[in-house]
Amino acid sequence: MLLILFLICSSQTYWVFNLKIKIKYQKCGFGLKANTNLTEDNKLKVFMRWYVLRVASNREEQVRETLVRKVTLENLQSDIGRIVVPVEQVKRIRGGKQKVQKRKLYPGYVFMEIEPDANRKISEKAWFLIKETMGVGDFVGTEGLPVPMSDTDVAKMLSEVEKVSEQTAANIKVDFAKGDVVKIREGAFENFEGAVDSIDTERGVVRVIVTIFGRSTPLDIEYWQIEKV
């Protein structure tokens, strides 16, 4: 009778312990993909974490596309999740024509969601798949070991990605600020100098205060027609 009671209590204790683990993983930090499936040796699999990968400059999107393709071909979706290159959309005017372009928020870096093994290391298959990709450098980490991003940094990065996906109209990127001294490069007031008074990022127009015949005169100039002095 005592043996039966012991077995029943042990079973209930294990069930409650296992349930607590599952609840803990379900409440994991933002950006973490929980995995509560038991492995063959009855150990709980580690959830996915985000890592930062250094890549060749101006090849971020090319590296991302190559990695996504290789993950699919090698059937490693369970080891490697999302791969992103955060960007923002900006309007630029060239020759009087307006174009919307994408600008990388973190040049030279690709963000990868990877599931580490029981020792908190990247699996050998995933490691070689990534490192053998052209244009790939090292992971951000310490002593040569990749270190996962903090939940705070993950939340910031993913919010930027989500913001771009919801963005419908971009503002024109103007590299001037109020008070900057600028020079007009072309037009009727070519070579005039003045100070920036205001900036209209929707139209790409900068209001510059110049001196004409001894009087301060505001001029609305397209941003590509001026330069900093």
9 lies in some domain: no
Six-digit token pair at 145?
Answer: 């070991």
State the residue range of the domain holding 97: 32-166
Higher-confidence residue of 153 and 102: namely: 153
Tens of pLDDT, residue by residue over 102-150, are 788 899 999 999 998 878 888 889 999 999 999 999 899 887 688 999 9
* pLDDT bracket for residue 44 (50, 70, 90): very low
Give residue-wise pLDDT tens across range 76-109.
998 999 999 998 777 666 655 667 777 888 999 9
The DSSP string of 95-162 is TTEEEEEEEESSTTEEEEEE---TTSS--HHHHHHHHTSTTEEEESEETTEE-PPPHHHHHHHHHHHH
Do 88 and 145 fall within a single domain? Answer: yes
Amino acid found at 130:
I
The whole-angstrom separation of Cα 165 and Cα 118 is 34
Choice among 77-86, 90-99, 163-172, 179-188 with the minimum mean pLDDT? 163-172
β-sheet bridge partners, residue 195: 181, 209
* Same structural domain, 88 and 153: yes
- Shared domain check, 112 and 74: yes
Structure tokens at 30: 């933002």
52 and 148 together in one domain: yes
CA distance 135 to 142: 21
| pLDDT at site 189 | 86
Tokens of 77: 């979706």
Q: Locate tokens 């930090």: which residue?
A: 29
Residues 140 and 65 reside in one and the same domain: yes
Domain count, the chain: 2
Regarding whether 190 and 156 lie in a shared domain, the answer is no
In-domain check, residue 87: yes
| pLDDT over 80 at 9, yes or no | no
Same domain, 77 and 143: yes
pLDDT of 43 strictly over 50: no
Indicate the residue among 166, 196, 218 that finishes a domain: 166
pLDDT at 190 over 60: yes
